[in-house]
Amino acid sequence: MNDEPALTYVYAAAVPAPRLDAVLRGLHGVEDAPVAFLAPHDAAPGAPAFLTSRVPADRWSEEALRARFEDLDWLEGTARAHHRVIEALTAHTTVLPLRMATLYRDDDRALAALREQRPALAERLALLAHHTEYGVKAYVTPDPGTPGPGADDAAGTAPRSPGKAYLQARRAQHHAREDRYRQAGVAAERIAAVAARYAAHVVRHPVQTGPLSDGGAGENVLNDACLVADDQADAFRVAVREVGRDLPGVRVEVTGPWAPYSFATLPAPPAPTGTADPPGPRP
């Protein structure tokens, strides 16, 4: 794309270091383009730079993006490429991810934005140093023991009529479900509280219920992101594992380590955040 008009795609901010050169070598981002640090020539040592690559302007125009953002295959490829760049660097240094598809007309405009934002970026990077994001998810697992309609013969009491038996079974099923969901809400709160004890900050993501979520895993009732100090990470994982073990019918999953995507803008007061919905299944 040497001669074609190109835009500057910015993945993240990080402090360049000689040891990162080897990581960047051979690292390709969106459009399979090579990734490099972008920093002013007069940058002070230790100042954050942008991780960037070039993308063809015609495929990344506002008009093109509006259409492509609706294309799940394109979205997945782009998300994974963006993540690949950030993850490669995260293994070696503190990385502050930028929102996906942050695009500037050229390097000069990206540099102007970098100059303006440098103090804020440096401050955020310092806060995130030696911390890692983990996801804490809880699922209510499908209950094979809940009797369904037609499974009432095993109940012992002989039904008077098929219609009444059906209704009885439905009622029992409904109550079992309600109990289960009440318990799931309590369980989600317990898991969230244990995780929060080890986390510097917590962000609550909406529970995953859409077609992309893994329905076979059960119903997602908790989807928190926890920013955990690296020296707390082992204790955090053990504690979350332990609390999950004590909760029948609930499966707990820890995802990560992640780059601090969910903490790029830190909540003002220390965790846990109080404004989000309580965990638990939706009514």
Partner 1 sequence: MTLPERDSPLPGRQVALVDLLDRLLAGGVVITGDLVLSIADIDLVRISLRALITSVDGSGAPLPRDGRP
Strand 201-204 and strand 219-229: the pairing is antiparallel
Query: DSSP for 116-139?
Result: HHHHHHHHHHHHHTTEEEEEEEEE
The answer to whether 261 contacts partner 1 (rule: CB under 8 A) is yes
- Binders of partner 1: how many residues, by CB under 8 A? 76
Q: Which of residues 212-251 bind partner 1 (CB under 8 A)?
A: 212-214, 223, 225, 233-234, 237, 240-241, 244-245, 251
Shortest Cβ distance from residue 175 to partner 1 (Å)? 25
- Of 124, 131, 180, 201, the residue at the interface with partner 1 (CB under 8 A) is 124
Tokens 């804490």 -> residue: 136
In the complex, the smallest distance separating the C-beta of residue 236 from partner 1, rounded to whole angstroms, is 10
Q: Which residues, listed in sequence order, are joined to residue 37 by a DSSP beta bridge?
A: 51
Map tokens 């920013």 to a residue.
Answer: 227
Q: Of all helices (H) and strands (E), which one includes residue 229?
A: strand 219-229
Does 262 bind partner 1 (CB under 8 A)? Our answer is yes
Nearer to partner 1, 149 or 206 (CB): 206
Q: Are strands 49-56 and 6-14 parallel, antiparallel or unpaired?
A: antiparallel
Closest by CA to 195, choosing from 233, 247, 160, is: 233
Residue 207 in the binding site for partner 1 (CB under 8 A)? yes
Q: What is the DSSP letter of 6?
A: E
Stretch that binds partner 1, among 14-22, 23-31, 68-76, 178-186 (CB under 8 A): 68-76
Minimum Å distance from CB 124 to partner 1? Answer: 7
* Interface pick for partner 1 out of 17, 21, 25, 80 (rule CB under 8 A): 80
Two tokens, residue 103: 């695009």
Q: How far is the CB of 251 from partner 1 (least distance, A)?
A: 6
